[in-house]
Amino acid sequence: MANYVNVSTVGRNCVSAEGRRGQDAVDHAKRLLEGEIAQVLPDRPDLIVLPEACDRFPDMKMDERKAYYECRGEQIAEFLGNIARAQRCYIAYSAARRLSDGSYRNSTQILDRQGRVAGVYNKNFPVISETTEGGILCGKDAPVIRCDFGHVGCAICFDIVFDEMRRNYADLPPEQRPQLICFSSMMYGGLPRLQYWAFSCHAFLVTACTNGRTLKNHIVSPEGVVIASTSQHYPYVSARINLDNALIFLDDNWGKLQQARQKYGPKVRVQDNGCTGAVLLSSETSEFTVQDIIREFEIETFDSYKARHRAHRANPANVEA
């Protein structure tokens, strides 16, 4: 059945600490984040995605930054948790995190509607200087975090250029894949690459880059279509997405998709980007799920279609000598 989720991305601007240090700097970060998050609250988001290092000040030197992190501790996480609880939403909070052994991780913490940590992703591919200068160690896992609206994956900045990172999600069985991926970053990542991540993982991708007025943030659908973007005037954007969907390749499915549309009308939606040969099928009703439609009309999913072709190629009789 239709599973509508309101998602928002906030493109935090790089701002100066203005000479603030210690608790004064922490309080300044809270005020800035509160003001930026306030911009999307009228959209009643279920999930707000914040950029990488969203509580960091770029004009702090490394020793000042570490002193700031030491003072900050979990204060920003708790502050954002209070917002999440008050607004009944999830927040993807991306920031450097100090562990008990003194080492750091570049992490995205998914805070739930009660302000608790639903899951944590540690950046798998920090740039080398993050480790040599900042003590940030590489993460080793790419967890799929369960939220009340669906499954969420994460990637941070430089992760996006590594194909093995994408395949952590794309190669999972369909029922285990994230339905939505949060990409928090300090670089844009490149729109074609972002679109391919969404398409290959069959997931919505929500990007949140620092410098939201100059680096666009996007919400990308599982068929690789940008459905919302920030602008130089508005460094934040929201969209209503439907997670009850499936990617369908058109071969052998044209007639079946038309039959579903003829029977159920607007309760079934077929979206075509016109570029990939695949369409996004979704249920727009509470009466049945997209899987019900797939079963009723014997529609072959894109995953099944690819598996059938792999099996065909694996037969020696079908391969050149």
- For 155-187, the pLDDT digits (tens) are 999 999 999 999 999 999 999 999 999 999 998
pLDDT at 213: 66
CATH number for the 4-242 domain, one of 3.60.110.10, 3.90.1150.10, 3.10.180.10, 3.40.50.150? 3.60.110.10
**What are the phi and psi torsion angles at 317 (to 5°)?**
-70, -20
Give the domain ranges of the chain.
4-242, 245-314
**How does the average pLDDT of the chain come out, rounded?**
95
Mean pLDDT throughout 241-267?
97
pLDDT of amino acid 12: 72
How crowded is residue 145: how many other Cβ atoms within 10 Å of its Cβ?
Answer: 23
Distance of alpha carbon 188 from alpha carbon 161, whole angstroms: 11
The whole-number pLDDT of residue 107 equals 98
pLDDT tens digit sequence for 184-232: 999 888 999 999 999 999 999 999 998 756 778 999 999 999 999 998 8
In terms of Cα–Cα distance, which of 103, 101, 108, 102 is closest to 122? 108
pLDDT above 70 covers what percent of the chain? 99
Render pLDDT for 122-157 as a digit per residue (tens, 0 to 9).
Answer: 999 999 999 999 999 999 999 999 999 999 999 999
